[in-house]
């Protein structure tokens, strides 16, 4: 039951992060939205424990997970926008020289 709760909270946090972030939301899909929210919860928990907001046995809640997921979306856009990582081959527009 604990894992199902993690997936539900992760999915909700991922949805909220995608809703509150202003730019296009790529990648998308149910699984990636869940992973985004779960990773955001881990990031928020780590940062919260490092600065003293949470004890070692506490984790971030829905709001913290959403903020962590937004931070991950911003990092994703910075990496993809800089050209360090691009879309898969054959998925983008063709450029003719």
Q: What is the pLDDT of residues 4-48, one digit of tens each?
A: 777 778 888 888 888 887 666 555 677 777 788 888 888 888 888
Residue 17's nearest CA partner among 75, 88, 81 is 75
pLDDT for the residue numbered 93: 58
Q: Considering the entire predicted model, what is its pTM? A: 0.68
**Is residue 36 included in any domain, yes or no?**
yes
**Is residue 96 included in any domain, yes or no?**
no
Cis bond upstream, residue 27 (ω within 30): yes
pLDDT for the residue numbered 59: 74
Q: What are the pLDDT digits (tens) for 58-81?
A: 777 788 888 888 888 888 778 776
Q: What are the pLDDT digits (tens) for 45-64?
A: 888 888 888 788 777 778 88
Number of independent structural domains in the chain: 1
Structural domain harbouring 18? 2-77
**Is residue 90 included in any domain, yes or no?**
no
**Is residue 97 included in any domain, yes or no?**
no
**Is residue 37 included in any domain, yes or no?**
yes
């Amino acid at each position: 039951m604990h894992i199902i709760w993690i997936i539900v909270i992760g999915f909700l946090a991922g949805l909220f992060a995608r809703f509150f972030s202003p730019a296009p939301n790529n990648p998308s899909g149910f699984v990636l939205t869940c992973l985004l929210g779960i990773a955001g919860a881990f990031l928020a928990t780590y940062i919260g424990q490092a600065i003293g907001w949470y004890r070692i046995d506490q984790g971030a809640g829905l709001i913290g997970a959403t903020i962590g997921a937004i931070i991950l979306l911003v990092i994703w856009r910075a990496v993809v926008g800089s050209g360090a990582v691009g879309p898969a081959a054959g998925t983008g527009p063709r450029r003719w020289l």
